[in-house]
Each structure stands twice: as C-alpha cells, then as structure tokens.
Structure 1
Amino acid sequence: MAMPELCQLAQRGDLPRIRAVLASSPCSDRLLDTRHRKSGDSVLHYAARHGQVAVLRYVCEDCGLSPETGNVDGKRPLHEAAQAGHTECVRYLVGRSVQIDVLKRADWTPIMLACTKTNLTVVKLLREAGADLTIRNKDGWNCFHIACREGDVNILNYLLDCDSTLWDSVSTNGRTPLHTASLHGRVGAANILLQRYLFDEHGLPVDTPASGSGLTALHFAAKEGQTNAVKLILRFGSSANTKDGKGRTALHMASGGQHAECVRVLLNNEAQDGPDCSGNTAEHLARKQAVKEIFSQLH
C-alpha cells in the first residue's frame, strides 16, 4: 500500500486496518517511514492533525516512530495537534516529553499555533508543560499577540494571569497587541487590554502610536471599518483627531475605506475634517455616495 493510503487510514483513525496492512507488509518499517512527497508529512503528522490519538500512540509505542519527527516546514506532531486543537493528542505528546518550544518555519511554537484557535485546555496543557509565552516569531509576535488577533477572551485572560507583562510587546512592524485587536475588530480583546492596563501603573495610553506609521488603535479600527472597536476605543478616551505620521486622522481612514458607519460615529464624536500631509481631506477621500451623504448631513 502506498503511503498516501496509509495516511488516509491514519486520518480516519482506522487502527485495525493499519495493523493489518503493516502486518502483511514485508517492509513495514520502510512503509511507516515513507513521507508525503511535497510536505514531508508522516503518519504521525496525519494522526496528530486529525485527532487520532489511538493511531498516534500505536505508531509511537508499538512501531517505534519518534514523536519528534518533522516535516519540510519543521512542523512536528505537537505543532499539528496544537494547531488543530486536539486536546488528547496534545496531552499524549506532552506526556511523551516532546520538545515544547520547538520552532517550525517562520519561528512558530506549538503554543503560538494553539492561540490561533479557541481551545483553552490545549493552551493550558502546553503552558503547564513549560511553554515559553515570550518567544517571538519572525514577525515579532508572541503567543499573546497572536491570541489578540484571534480574540478569544478566555485564552487572553489566562495568558495575562500567567504573565501580566505580555500586553507590553511590539511586533516587527511596530504594532502593540491593542493595535492588532483593534485592526481585526476583536472588541473583547481590546476591552480586556484597556480595562486591565489603561489606568494602572504600567500605563497603556489609548492613543499610543505604532512605531514607524504613527497609527493608533483608533486609526487601525477605522481603517478596517471595525465600528464596534471604534466605539469602544472612543469610550476609553481616544481622541478622534489624533494624526498619524502622514497627518491622517481616523476620519481619513474610515472615509478612504468607504466605511460609512465608522465615519458617522467619528463625526458624532467631534472628529474634525482637515487636510492631511498630501492635502487630502476625509471628505475628498469619500468616493461612495453613502459616505458623502454623511458629510453633507452633518455640515
């Protein structure tokens, strides 16, 4: 049987058939060690990715495959199980004392991948096994920054309870977790950050600019039309008229993106239209009639 077929059995969790195939093969070791031609995935990767813990246990314990097997991207079974949120596979692999902070290509650890999903149990298992929450990937993001992008409030609160300094990080492009949460409209995440850190001794000014661009959380939210995030940030004292490095306000961002409701909210919160460094006003940037009408109604 060719390797892809064996992997299909692993995906389905058909352990009896896998046993039968290997028992009937004169070269079972070579069959098990065969990889997907392009990805380099092994039976272990397929089992972990699809949550087949019985297959994972069998090929590790009975067949002797190493749970540290990597594919061409450097992903190991723990990466696969964590990314897919398969609790029992993660529990099994952690119990085998695999490397917790092993990096795949682009410097992603298993806990970073776990934070792209909503399975708090997996995150806890990795943390309790010693996962480092402060490791950063090639983009300068740690697992908390990634969790802010996804917005699961349970994971965010847990990570902050483990390390209350995680909020204070900056990505390679100069964004804080608050910037990222605002950009993606993760209102729950932004609310946690603002409630927990805006007024404490650390100080998280709501209008802290991203280094380089000068964009604030309000700019990012308005740019993507994240109306609820815009409303939240304004409630926490953001100035509707803060300018970025090019002289643009959030109103420029919302108008340029044709986000009519964001434009309405900003104008109702004392946003003032004026020229940016290129001489463009927000009203000039409004191309859609719906956005233009808002300006005309409020003039």
Structure 2
Amino acid sequence: MDGEQGGRIGSKPPGLEGSSDTRLLANPLMGDVVSDWSPVHEAAIHGRVLSLRNLISQGWPVNLITADRVSPLHEACLGGHLLCANILLKHGAQVNGVTMDWHTPLFNACVSGSQACVNLLLQHGASPHPESDLASPIHEAARRGHVECVEALAAHGGNIDHNINHMGTPLYLACENQQIACAKKLLESGATVNQGRGLESPLHAAARASSMELAALLMDFGADTQAKNAEGKRPAELVPPESPVMQLFLQREGPPSLLQLCRLRIRGCFGARQHHRIGALLLPEHLKRFLLHL
C-alpha cells in the first residue's frame, strides 16, 4: 500500500554500504547504475508512492537498471502508475531509456493502456518514434485497442502510417485484432486506408476476420475492394462463404460478374482445400484446369 514504509527495505543503496552519507546517489546527473531488482523497482511496479519517496530521500538512485536495463520508470509505466512515474521523472529518471528488448517507458505505458502516463512521458520529452521496430508504441497501442494512447501519440507527431515489415501499419494491426475503435481513430487521424502489411491491405484483414463493422468502416474511408494480396486474392475472396459480410462486398462492388459468381460457388462447394478436391474429381483435365484458375 502507498503508506507502507518502503524505505526500510534494504538498509543502504547499492555501493554505499558503510557510508554515512547517501545524498550523492540522489544526484539526477549521475549515470546508470546496474543493480539487481531493487526496492525502487518494487515500489514503482506496485504504485507505492510513499515507499518510493522514502527510498529516494534515503539516496536510492532513480536510474537504477537491472541486467536487462529495466529502470524503475519502465516498471511504473508498465503498471500504469502515474504518481510514481511523475516522482521518478521529477528526480531525473531517463525518459527514453531502452531495455534489452527495446522497450521504452512510453512503450510500456502503451502496453498498460495508461493515457495519463503516455501524456506525462511525452510532456517530459519522450520520443513517439520507436527506437526499434521490435517495440513500436503506436503499434502496441493499436494492437491492444488503447484508443486514447493512439490519439495522444498521433497528437505528438507519432507516425500513424509507420510500416513495419513483420507487423504492417498500426491500422492493419488494429484490423487484424478487430480493434474497431482504434481503426476508426487512426482513419480519422489521417491513416492511409489501403496501406497494410506488404500487399495485404487492412480490408483483407477485416474480410478474413469476417468483421462487418470493420469492413464497412474501411470502405467508408475509401478502401480498395479490388486490391490483391500476395496470393492474388481480393478481400471478398477471403470472406468465409456463408458470412453476411459477403453481402456487404456485393453491395459495395455492384453486381458480380459470371466469373466472380463461379469463384464464389467453387469456394462454397470445395472450401479452403479446393485444389486438392478438384484434382480428385473425375473430370477432363482441361475442365479441372479451368476450375483451378477460378
């Protein structure tokens, strides 16, 4: 609890055993100090404000990092503890510190979904741009559906169209994870509606998920229903055959051609394993080849 006397955990800060003066370690200009998990980390991750104040007053440095370069500020933001994060920043915590996994305090705040922590960090100079594509704050917020975090990052210059090879754009991730509110916020903030992951568009992701609301939203913002992915398939071709989403595509695309009707019928009859099933039919080879090209 916040009122716990956390300063009693661990009698001295690391490196000052036997010293009568611990004030030097409170200097915010000092470099990183590598430590095991410390009482400062413990207080930060659990949001124990009074314990954290006591530890800092006793001389515990705010920039203690573990072997994985995790700081108390990382932990406060991961827990979404605004008061602890504010105390650490006021005492000189490094706002853009990076862990071995490329996590920044801002990334951790997006994991927790704490808009308050995100705004606090940005006000103290946190970069909205990722240190590495392995840990992008705006992608993490979009994937988890943290709309307010996405909004804050976009307002502070975060690249809403940042395309990462293995993840795609924030909009694609939001659609892939069916985070409708995040997708809407990104589109309203100017995200490019047809930019996804490689040739796979956000509409492809919505179609595969059979999400009526997402598909309609993307189409309202101008999504290309004829875009083809790496397998040469349009979004409508990824919709499960009996899904009501298919009606939406038919309405938006207009009356289907005979070839499109044949394709839909073949998919309905043979499903995802159509090549294997058609190949087993007792049909002339030229007819099999025709069916396989639908």
Structures share fold, TM-score greater than 0.5: yes
Which residue of structure 2 lines up, in the alignment, with residue 253 of structure 1?
238
CA 1:175–1:135: 2 relative to 1, 3 Å? same
User: Is the Cα contact below 8 Å between 2:6 and 2:39 reproduced in 1?
Assistant: no
Say which is worse superposed, 215-224 or 262-271, in terms of deviation. 262-271
Which residue of structure 2 lines up, in the alignment, with residue 231 of structure 1?
216
1:43 matched to 2:29: no
- Amino acid in the other structure paired with 1:46: E
Task: Write the distance in 2 (CA, Å) between the matches of 1:72 and 1:170.
Answer: 31
Q: Which runs of 5+ in 2 are unaligned?
A: 19-34, 274-294
Task: Write the distance in 1 (CA, Å) between the matches of 2:66 and 2:188.
Answer: 42
- Amino acid in the other structure paired with 2:189: R
Q: Which runs of 5+ in 1 are unaligned?
A: 1-11, 31-38, 199-203, 288-299
| Cα shift at 1:133 | 0.9
Which residue of structure 2 lines up, in the alignment, with residue 154 of structure 1?
148
CA 1:275–1:166: 2 relative to 1, 3 Å? same
Percent identical among aligned pairs is 25
CA RMSD of aligned residues (A): 3.2
Q: Deviations over 1:13-60 (max 9, x none)?
A: 56348639859xxxx959xxxxxxxx9422222211110011112122
Q: Deviations over 1:234-268 (max 9, x none)?
A: 2222233422011223234332xx88344454445
Which residue of structure 2 lines up, in the alignment, with residue 5 of structure 1?
none
Which residue of structure 1 lines up, in the alignment, with residue 166 of structure 2?
173
**Secondary structure in structure 2 of the residue aligned to 1:104:** coil
**Secondary structure in structure 2 of the residue aligned to 1:51:** coil
| Cα shift at 1:222 | 2.4
CA 1:78–1:226: 2 relative to 1, 3 Å? farther
- Amino acid in the other structure paired with 1:222: A
CA 1:81–1:237: 2 relative to 1, 3 Å? same
| Cα shift at 1:61 | 1.7
CA 1:44–1:225: 2 relative to 1, 3 Å? farther
| Cα shift at 1:195 | 2.6
CA 1:251–1:285: 2 relative to 1, 3 Å? farther
| Cα shift at 1:153 | 2.8
* Corresponding residue to 1:97 among 82, 92, 98: 92
* Corresponding residue to 2:56 among 43, 60, 72: 60
**Secondary structure in structure 2 of the residue aligned to 1:73:** coil
User: Is the Cα contact below 8 Å between 1:47 and 1:55 reproduced in 2?
Assistant: yes
Task: Write the distance in 1 (CA, Å) between the matches of 2:167 and 2:116.
Answer: 31
Which residue of structure 1 lines up, in the alignment, with residue 270 of structure 2?
284
CA 1:238–1:259: 2 relative to 1, 3 Å? farther
Task: Write the distance in 1 (CA, Å) between the matches of 2:2 and 2:154.
Answer: 37
Which residue of structure 1 lines up, in the alignment, with residue 8 of structure 2?
19
CA 1:21–1:209: 2 relative to 1, 3 Å? closer
Task: Write the distance in 1 (CA, Å) between the matches of 2:36 and 2:269.
Answer: 53
1:208 matched to 2:195: yes
| Cα shift at 1:285 | 2.8
Task: Write the distance in 2 (CA, Å) between the matches of 1:137 and 1:147.
Answer: 16
Q: How many residues align?
A: 248
Task: Write the distance in 2 (CA, Å) between the matches of 1:78 and 1:16.
Answer: 20
Larger Rg computed on CA atoms:
2
User: Is the Cα contact below 8 Å between 2:7 and 2:54 reproduced in 1?
Assistant: no
User: Is the Cα contact below 8 Å between 2:69 and 2:100 reproduced in 1?
Assistant: yes
CA 1:224–1:105: 2 relative to 1, 3 Å? farther
Task: Write the distance in 2 (CA, Å) between the matches of 1:245 and 1:90.
Answer: 45
CA 1:136–1:251: 2 relative to 1, 3 Å? farther
